[in-house]
Structure 1
Amino acid sequence: MARHGGTIDRDKVNATTEADIDRQAREDGTNDTSHLSAPYPTPATVRKTLHMTQKQIADLTGIPVATWRNWEQGRVGLDPAVQALLRILGREPDAARRALDMAAE
């Protein structure tokens, strides 16, 4: 078993009620989860806003076109990293393009 240092707080690990979990989150400062539900544009919205085909945006992001297509058609859920990528592409498309183009160099 790998050890990463620190100690385990057994009271927190063994919390049995939602009230215990909520109290511990407040004490730890981890009770603000608003960032977890932040809206993000859909893959199709991002692609259309950038005036790109599925192939073009897949090439830009390094994502297989079949994966992008599945995202657009709702066949596959979007994990948090994909949601973040969509927010970046949607809010800062020029910066995202520069950064992604640099990755291809």
Structure 2
Amino acid sequence: MTTEPEDLPLSPATLADLRHPPLARRARLRAGLGQQAFAETYGIPLGTLRDWEQGRSAPDTAAASYLRAIANDPPAVAAAYAKATAA
């Protein structure tokens, strides 16, 4: 009997990602946006967002707070960011 790749047990890191996606990805999915649109809407460099989502780096405390605010109310944070950048 051969073991197919999908039959192999998941690594702890992969399993953790499946249970609880990174905060940046959760915020982006709650906003209903792709990476490019999310980065532009909320003023986050696209490369930074990708690094956060792929686990290559983690947001600092301030960025994590910003992402939590986005996840809680994407339209309100987008409006506040747009207003701040227009001023």
TM bucket normalised to smaller? 0.5 to 0.7
Distance (Å, rounded) in 2 between the aligned partners of 1:52 and 1:60? 9
SS of the residue aligned with 2:40?
Answer: helix
TM (norm. structure 2) is 0.67
Q: Which residue of 2 aligns with 1:64?
A: 45
Unaligned runs of 5+ in 1: 1-40
CA RMSD of aligned residues (A): 1.4
1:83 maps onto 2:64 in alignment: yes
Q: Which residue of 1 aligns with 2:6?
A: none
**Structure with max Cα Rg:** 1
Following TM superposition, the consecutive aligned residue runs of length 4 or more in structure 1 with deviations greater than 4 angstroms are none
More helix per residue: 2
Paired letter, 1:61: Y
The higher relative CO (CA closer than 8 Å, separation ≥ 6) is in 2
Matched residues, number:
65
Deviations 1:48-83 (A, max 9, x none): 111101111111121210110000001012210111
SS of the residue aligned with 2:32?
Answer: coil
**One of 30, 42, 48 as aligned partner of 1:49:** 30
TM (norm. structure 1) is 0.57
Unaligned runs of 5+ in 2: 1-21
